[in-house]
Amino acid sequence: MIDADAGRAEALARRLSETAFAAVEVLRAPDAAYLGETVERLKPDLVIVDMDLPDRDTLEGIRVVSDKHPIVMFAGGDDPAFAEEAIAAGVCSYNLSGVALQDVRPILSAAVALFRRHRRVESELAEAKARLDERRLIERAKAILMQGRRMTEPEAYRWLQKRAMDENRKLAQVVADVIAQHESLEKGERPGRNTP
């Protein structure tokens, strides 16, 4: 298993050992720099790789460069939908010893599910962070308006909303404008009326 995310790799190893694959021995490549050597030494049946790492080229080159056949992703698997699913989730695998895809498919499915969940959690985190940032910025823009234009808080919010609607822009863009304009005025870059 080649994964820069130790937590995710451990979770997958744990899940495999809990299921029908108790007999599966999970090895982790310790150091990306020695990846080729490690794989050639350990001769694993199946390699599961995080697609965000550049090391897949090395893996594929192990046999190609030594003039034998290339190792093929999802060898023997005649299921493009499954491959597409895995790639979209950011994980792929190579079966090196000629085991058929259907035999290792449950392992791969577990990996795909785990990677997909991981990715979702990551994007949810990013979204939550973006929402928080946006709320913070709205508060800031409201404060600027309340101070500069002597508006009440609801008035300031309505002003921002109306402007967004009138100009057919996102609220976040209007908010960013108000703040940017205020900041440039504060720095004294542009003389002018104190209006956003």
Partner 1 sequence: MSRVISLATARKSAPPKMRIGLLRLTDGAPVIAADEFGFFAEEGVETELCVEPSWANIADKLCYGLLDAAVIVPPLAFNIHLGVRGAAQHLVIPYGVSAAGNSVTLSNALADDVRHRSRQSGVTPAVALRSVLKDHFVTFGVVHAYSTHNLLLRYWLETAGIKVGRDVQLAVVPPARAVEVLATGQIAGFCAGAPWGEVARRAGVGVPIAGSNDIWQNAPEKAFAVRARWAEEWPQQLCGAIRAILRGAKFCDAPENAEYTSALLSRRKYVDVEPHAILADLPGAAGSGRGCVFYRGATTFPWRSQGLWWLNEMRRWDLIDPTLDLRGLVADVYRPDIYRAAVMPIGESVPAADFKVEGSHRYNWVLDGSLSPIEMLPDRFCDGALFDPDAVESRLPPTPGVVVSTP
Q: Which residues bind partner 1 (CB under 8 A)?
A: 32-34, 36, 51-62, 64-65, 67, 70, 72-75, 80, 83-84, 87-88, 92
The CA R_g of the chain, rounded to the nearest whole Å, is 27
For CA atoms 89, 91, 95, 99, the dihedral sign is: negative
Q: What is the DSSP letter of 151?
A: -
Least distance CB 191 / partner 1 (angstroms): 31
d(CA 58, CA 38): 11
Q: Which is nearer to partner 1, 84 or 122 (CB)?
A: 84
d(CA 177, CA 49): 44
Closest distance to partner 1 from the beta carbon of 60 (Å): 6
The first and second tokens of residue 152, run together, are 């009440």
Q: Which is nearer to partner 1, 88 or 100 (CB)?
A: 88
Query: Is residue 94 within 8 Å of residue 71, measured between CB atoms?
Result: yes
Q: Which is nearer to partner 1, 33 or 128 (CB)?
A: 33
The smaller minimum CB distance to partner 1, of residues 98 and 188, is found at 98
The alpha-helical segments, DSSP class H, found in 67-170 are 80-89, 101-148, 153-166
Taking phi over 0 as left and psi of -120 to 50 as alpha, with beta for the rest, 168 belongs to: left
Widest distance between CA atoms in the chain? 77
Closer of 24 and 58 to partner 1 (Cβ): 58
